[in-house]
Amino acid sequence: MQTLQGQFPSSVGRPHPWHAVIHGSDKPRYVAIADVIADDMRNGRLAPGARLPAQRVLAEALEVDFTTVARGYQEAQRRGLIESRVGAGTFVRDEASTIPCAPEALPVGDAVIPAAQPPVRSSARCSADLSMNLPPDIDDPELLARMRAGLAEVGQDLVDLLRYQEFGGAEQDRQAGVDWLALRGLPVRSERLLVCAGTHSALHAVLGALAKPGDRICAEALTYPGLRGLAAQLGLEVIGLPMDENGILPDAFAEVCRTRPPKALYCNPTLQNPTTITLSAERRQALVDIARHYGVAIVEDDAYGALPVGGPVPMAALAPDIVFYIGGVAKVLGAGLRVAYLVVPEARHVWQLSAFLRATTVMASPLTVALATRWIGDGTAQAILAAIRAESTLRQTIARGILPGPAPRSKPEAFHYWLPLPAGWSRSSFAATLRGAKLGIVVSDAFSVNSPAPEAVRLCLGGCDRDETRGALEMIAHTLSRPPELASVFL
């Protein structure tokens, strides 16, 4: 390889203090980039805390491909040499190890053979993983301080919170759920509400109560993978209903109700996972009318419902007599806050579902529930929601500006992005190409109830910090700008 050398402009117009010189090497170029970072740290040319040039700037200066630099930075981060900081850039770690680290791959003839992998440093926050659908992290110091203060207050009752609690939630916790759901335009009474250990736990209980093995349930043709997994565990058949830009087609649902009566309709009506479709108010009413006519229960998974401002009211507000409503907080406050509020149509359902929950999860974690109750009561939860909504909107704007193709279907407040692939690309080859660059996505097969699955993928915009997300999106756009044959990772 020829010698590569670059001098980089900084964001304020001065020459960047680091001059990267990559001498001839038989190693892959991205490994050479990581090596020169390590070498320059060792000899003092890169000081702890030094800011590295942006990936695109470095690629232009060295006259190499953008994805090469992106993989070089990922390799350096894997070795513990550098770190990304939200909204600031990429920096040399203050206490980075300079012990030589085996590269992730070594050239052998014309092939590239994976090398033994050293342990990943626990401090690495993200490896460009756009597969897990979780909200962006909170990084506002004042809000973080407020969150920590609430956690400290909860800790004052630590001894009591380490004991068994009332099944279905204590009265103050159920009232917190009532208050939280009121913000969604859903008036409920606390005696019809159960506090559960997350949406998955609540969904498991509802499906187990409504259907027995061999029964049918309906869902979107592209639906939440957790629903598919639970249905398989419970021995239920899932019938996928076609959708348009307004969600499930009512005529298709009515036809199934006439010919293959289901026990329930499951839907994720607001910012649907994976497509981000939001059922219109008219479509919600039409589905409710059909379900009521045929005596079919509706299971409304409103995981993302709090994110949009001024969106349609929950289906449970239209039909409280037939809708089992699940309002989880993990997608709108923090993925580790495994709390969901389950609202049931009738009082008898409380006892039925309480027995199921007691047998499967015993109870929601008292510490976690107490923290949710505290944050809802003092307004911290609303502030977290507003921050996540604002950051999600910003990341959608970034994605729309980077990714190619027609106007996306994704809604502004969603932190996931549904990407139909251009002609020539298959979802499997696209995922394999990105996997070769250590970038994780989810292909449509994970969501598809019917076959064949569409040529599309879901990207999560919240799992990494903003700079890492931007870099991953640029890598995806660059990959899609080339014919699949040129991007293939297969030998």
All structural domains of the chain: 4-114 (1.10.10.10), 153-381 (3.40.640.10), 388-487 (3.90.1150.10)
Bigger pLDDT: 242 or 28?
A: 242
Asked if residue 27 has pLDDT above 90, the reply is no
% residues pLDDT > 90 (the chain): 59
Above 80 in pLDDT, residue 83? yes
Phi and psi of 85, rounded to 5°? Answer: -120, 135
**Is the per-residue pLDDT at 50 higher than 90?**
no
Query: What's the CA gap between 420 and 275, in Å, rounded?
Result: 10
Residue 124 confidence class, pLDDT cut points 50, 70, 90: very low
pLDDT at site 435: 86
Secondary structure class of 450 (helix, strand, coil): coil
- Across the range 53-57, mean pLDDT stands at 84
Q: Calculate mean pLDDT across residues 301-323.
A: 95
- How far apart CA 440 and CA 415 sit, in angstroms, is 16
Task: Specify the pLDDT at position 20.
Answer: 75
**How confident is the model over 394-407, as a mean pLDDT?**
86
Q: For residues 344 and 346, what is the distance between their CA atoms, to the nearest angstrom?
A: 6
Query: Can you give the pLDDT at residue 69?
Result: 84
Query: What single DSSP character describes residue 441?
Result: -
Q: What is the pLDDT confidence band of residue 102, given thresholds at 50, 70 and 90?
A: very low
Per-residue model confidence (pLDDT) at position 488: 55
Given this model, what pLDDT does residue 17 score?
58
Buried b (16+ CB within 10 A) or exposed e, 408-417: eebbbbbbbb
| DSSP class per residue in 361-407 | TSS--HHHHHHHHHHHHHTHHHHHHHHHHHHHHHHHHHHHHHS-SS-
416 compared with 361, residue with greater pLDDT: 416
Given CA atoms 283, 289, 295, 297 in this order, what sign does their dihedral have?
A: positive
Between the alpha carbon of residue 475 and those of residues 104, 256, 478, the distances in Å are: 19, 43, 5
pLDDT of 104 > 50? The answer is no
pLDDT of residue 385 exceeding 80: yes
Confidence of residue 352 (pLDDT cuts 50, 70, 90): confident
Percent of the chain with pLDDT over 70: 86
**Six-digit token pair at 138?**
């909170």
Whether residue 489 has pLDDT greater than 60: no
Q: Where are the beta strands (DSSP E) in 425-474?
A: 442-443, 456-460
- The mean pLDDT of 165-194, rounded to a whole number, is 93
Question: Model's pTM, two decimal places?
Answer: 0.76
Q: What is the pLDDT of residues 182-227, one digit of tens each?
A: 999 999 999 999 999 999 999 999 999 999 999 999 999 999 999 9
pLDDT in the model for residue 411: 82
Here the tokens at position 5 are 């050398």
Give the least confident one: 9-23, 348-362, 444-458.
9-23
Q: What is the pLDDT confidence band of residue 231, given thresholds at 50, 70 and 90?
A: very high
Beta strands in 230-288 (DSSP E): 237-241, 243-244, 247-248, 264-267
